[in-house]
Amino acid sequence: MPPPDLPATDRDFQGYRAGEPSILWPNGAQLAVSVVVNVEEGAELALSAGDEANEFIYEANERTEGVRDLCMESHYEYGTRRGWPRIRQALKDHGVTATLNANGRALAYSPWIGAEAISDGHEVSAHGWRWERHAHMDEATERRAIARTVAAIAASAGTPPRGWHTRSATSPNTRRLLIEHGGFLYDSNAYNDDCPYMAAIGGRDLVILPYAFDTNDMRFQPGGAFVEGDDFARYCIAAFERLHAEGRTAPRMLSIGIHLRIIGRPARIGGLERLLAHMAGREGVWFATREAIAHHWRAGLGLPEWQPRPALSAFEVA
């Protein structure tokens, strides 16, 4: 029995402790690999975009307050100008299907990226309107952010997003709003497992596809552990090998997070290329979009095929 003064909680510390699901990946694959390409350039906070402040996190943490930060803006522009072409080619060279996790405002400024991604067979998912946390966002503002994001991605990619991932912390309302919207199949705002699971609110459900901050090029930034491209490759390969082995007896999913302006630098892109070559050279690997993984998980649970549903409440762009 827990101590009498222990607060009640809705957190799930058990997961699949009672038994791993018996779902099999397509073609007998041992591991589903989700490469997530974060597209945030143009959605970072910038006074030039009418925001309340400038973004200050990149290769160095440096704040420029009260005036436009042309230095930071230029750093982020590198991602669309040079990073995306390199990453796009690396994915093509290794036959890897990916999910672009895109901010709505980023694709509004660089709409060709969404179109090119769809042309290459990738998915474009939603990362919020701006590159910002939603933790303290009021419900009306968050509704508008969801609506603007969906509209911008649909305009760029030709199809609306089916998944969502907020930068870091969501608000207490985020998952409920995604379900009320009706157009979302899955939510990636979880970090607590190595395979999908289901969540339900008010009789509607979402597939939860856990994401990861460790197998992620964000660790090249200040305070992270990666310096050279091989640091990223070695760490991610270690995760890949472990989950590939565990996948002999239970379904496993590996998320690899990359960013245009980070892994797309000339000294780092080789790390991504080496990682992709290693994974593509192994048997029993399913490179899939997160949308494909979510559909497969539902099918494996015997759930009906997911279709967009009518919104339960209003989501307006204006």
Residue 152 contacts residue 107 (beta carbons within 8 Å)? yes
Residue 18 lies in a domain: no
Taking the C-alpha atoms of residue 166 and residue 307, their distance in angstroms, rounded to an integer, is 22
Structural domain of 243: 26-300
Looking at residue 1, its pLDDT comes to 62
Residue 1 lies in a domain: no
CA 291, 119, 159, 111 torsion-angle sign: positive
Residue 196 lies in a domain: yes
pLDDT digits (tens, 9 = 90+) for 186-233: 999 999 999 999 999 989 999 999 999 999 999 999 888 999 999 999
Taking the C-alpha atoms of residue 38 and residue 99, their distance in angstroms, rounded to an integer, is 8
Taking the C-alpha atoms of residue 165 and residue 150, their distance in angstroms, rounded to an integer, is 12
CA 208, 96, 212, 141 torsion-angle sign: negative
Residue 309 lies in a domain: no
Residue 12 lies in a domain: no
Looking at residue 236, its pLDDT comes to 98
Say which residue the tokens 């029995």 belong to: 1
Residue 103 contacts residue 130 (beta carbons within 8 Å)? yes
Residue 75 lies in a domain: yes
Residue 293 lies in a domain: yes
Residue 2 lies in a domain: no
Domain tally for the chain? 1
The pairing of beta strand 197-201 with beta strand 204-208:
antiparallel
Angle (CA) 185-145-312 rounded to 5° is 50
For the question of whether the overall pTM of this predicted structure is more than 0.95, the answer is yes
Looking at residue 130, its pLDDT comes to 98
**What are the structure tokens assigned to 98, written together?**
């990916």
Looking at residue 179, its pLDDT comes to 97
- CATH code where residue 236 lies: 3.20.20.370
Taking the C-alpha atoms of residue 187 and residue 296, their distance in angstroms, rounded to an integer, is 15
Q: How many CB atoms lie within 10 A of CB 115?
A: 15
Beta partners for 201? 204
The pairing of beta strand 252-259 with beta strand 123-126:
unpaired
Low-confidence ranges of the chain (pLDDT < 70): 1-2
Taking the C-alpha atoms of residue 188 and residue 166, their distance in angstroms, rounded to an integer, is 8
